[in-house]
């Protein structure tokens, strides 16, 4: 829910007198309602949850089920990224009424002409976009650049005050953009647009069509102007193909541009998967005018993100690492790769949840790093079959039991790694709650920090 003391983004005078519908009243939806009403627009809003509807009503919105009204004449239907527009009836109703289906990022894009001098960096990709977004933001901030981040990370962009740089300065908005958000955006011309990688994910939103998912990511570049910059990591075939069709300024980067293992002076960026994140962040920040020394200072002081290779404790020489954000095999594989088996496999891997596909996928290549697998959640039996007898495994069922089982078996120098390669919704509301359960379970162990 929206904080009563939260800032409201100033959308500008163009929105006054317009009427919008808002579907989905979680954080971004409520921030959208507040920003539109503050700009002088009228809003009709709906959410299946009565509590969310009550908050929107208190902000000044009219509450009506949008499927029951004529949408004609609206300036837009603002849809939460969580609404599956490929199968939700709101999409057809908006199309019949000739009303654009948009998201909060599109409202931000439409407001840009009234903002103080600024640049926008947009980051997308299947994996690594949260880390890269936070890393770019941190490097800029540590260099004294006025900046904020939003989109698919942190506070919704419309729940933040617009950047107001002093004197001749330029503020930088750093936006993490999911494919869902790009689908609902039509005019976001990023000064620098970044694509990290594309692997199969979220295909239920694209009717199982991987090419359609990739095309959604590629749209970020079609909205740019010729004088704007595309930064594309060309480590996979789909990204290389997208790069080959870029007709404006293109910077190609690769994880191979960064030494692996990454320098020890970047403690929160260990593991080969972070090489690509660093390469993209360096290219962006250098393009924005930062010096090599400023970039290096930001890399060395970056604290990391919760639930992404987060070291939550060490007990008896055993490290406990929370990588709950790894919700598919492609994002779990780099965590396994980060701990080479010298002189023996050291990873006690907590694996499972709500699977997004069959098998171990990209994790197959790194099974030699794993000492034992502790299976949890809905996908436990499927993963047990996929592992066979190649790696010892056992059924723990829950995160709490898996932590206890792994802590009992792990030896000095080992790593207990929650990198579940699955969504969390079988047992938790989101991956953050799953990571919090892991952290609490570690703290409850003998020798843990209660």
Active site residues: 129, 152, 202
Asked if residues 213 and 239 have their Cβ atoms less than 8 Å apart, the reply is no
The strand ranges marked E within 259-389 are 310-315, 318-322, 347-352, 370-376
Torsions phi, psi for 311 (to 5 deg):
-80, 110
Rounded alpha-carbon distances, angstroms, from residue 244 to 59, 196, 216, 229, 251: 47, 15, 16, 14, 11
3-class secondary-structure state, position 169:
coil
Query: Cβ contacts of residue 318 below 8 Å, gap of 6+?
Result: 407, 410, 411, 412, 413, 414, 415, 416
Q: Exposure of 40 by Cβ count < 10 A (0-12 exposed, 13-18 middle, 19+ buried)?
A: middle
Residues 341, 366: Cα–Cα separation, whole Å: 10
Structure tokens at 385: 């079959």
Number of Cβ within a 10 Å radius of residue 136: 28
Q: Exposure of 394 by Cβ count < 10 A (0-12 exposed, 13-18 middle, 19+ buried)?
A: middle
First to last CA, the chain: 29
Asked if residues 147 and 137 have their Cβ atoms less than 8 Å apart, the reply is yes
Residues 18, 43: Cα–Cα separation, whole Å: 9
Query: Cβ contacts of residue 10 below 8 Å, gap of 6+?
Result: 35, 38, 39, 111, 114, 161, 162
Q: What is the largest CA-CA distance in the chain?
A: 69
Structure tokens at 299: 């890399």
Torsions phi, psi for 265 (to 5 deg):
-75, -5
Beta 249-253 vs 229-233: how paired, if at all?
A: parallel
CA angle 176, 187, 241 (to 5 degrees): 65
Asked if residues 168 and 198 have their Cβ atoms less than 8 Å apart, the reply is no
């Amino acid at each position: 829910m929206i904080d009563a003391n939260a800032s409201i983004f100033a959308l500008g005078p163009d929105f006054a007198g317009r009427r919008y519908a808002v579907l989905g009243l979680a954080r971004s939806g409520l921030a959208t309602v507040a920003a539109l009403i503050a700009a002088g627009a009228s809003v009709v809003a709906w959410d299946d949850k009565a509590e969310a509807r009550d908050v929107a009503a208190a902000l000044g919105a009219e509450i009506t089920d949008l499927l029951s009204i004529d949408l004609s004449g609206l300036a837009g239907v603002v849809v939460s990224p969580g609404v599956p527009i490929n199968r939700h009836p709101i999409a057809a109703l908006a199309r019949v009424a000739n009303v654009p289906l948009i998201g909060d990022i599109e409202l931000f894009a439409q407001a840009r002409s009234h903002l103080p001098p600024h640049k926008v960096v947009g980051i997308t990709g299947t994996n690594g976009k949260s880390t890269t977004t936070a890393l770019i933001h941190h490097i800029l901030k540590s260099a004294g650049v006025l900046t904020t981040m939003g989109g698919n990370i942190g506070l919704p962009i419309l729940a933040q005050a617009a950047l107001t740089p002093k004197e001749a300065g330029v503020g930088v908005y750093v936006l993490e953009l999911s494919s869902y958000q790009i689908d609902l955006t039509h005019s976001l011309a990023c000064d620098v647009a970044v694509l990290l990688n594309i692997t199969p994910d979220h295909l239920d939103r694209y009717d199982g069509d991987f090419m359609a998912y990739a095309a959604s990511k590629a749209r970020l570049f079609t909205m740019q102007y010729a004088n704007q910059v595309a930064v594309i990591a060309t480590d996979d075939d789909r990204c290389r193909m997208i790069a080959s069709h870029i007709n404006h300024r293109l910077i190609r980067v690769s994880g191979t541009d960064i030494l692996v293992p990454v320098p020890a002076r970047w403690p929160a960026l260990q593991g080969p998967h972070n090489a690509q994140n660093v390469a993209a962040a360096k290219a962006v920040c250098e393009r924005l005018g930062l010096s090599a020394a400023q970039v290096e200072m930001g890399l060395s002081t970056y604290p990391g993100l919760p639930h992404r290779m987060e070291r939550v404790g060490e007990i008896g020489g055993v490290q406990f690492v929370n990588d709950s954000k790894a919700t598919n095999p492609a994002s779990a594989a780099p965590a396994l790769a980060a701990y080479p088996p010298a002189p023996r496999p050291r990873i006690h891997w907590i694996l499972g949840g709500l699977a997004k596909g069959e098998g171990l996928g990209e994790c197959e290549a790194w099974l030699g790093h794993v000492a034992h697998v502790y299976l949890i959640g809905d996908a436990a039996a499927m993963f047990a079959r996929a592992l066979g007898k190649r790696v010892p495994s056992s059924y723990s069922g829950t995160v709490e039991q898996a932590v206890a089982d792994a802590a009992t078996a792990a030896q000095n120098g080992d790593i207990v790694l929650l990198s579940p390669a699955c969504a969390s919704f079988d047992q938790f509301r989101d991956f953050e709650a799953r990571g919090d359960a892991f952290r609490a379970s570690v703290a409850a162990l003998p020798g843990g920090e209660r």
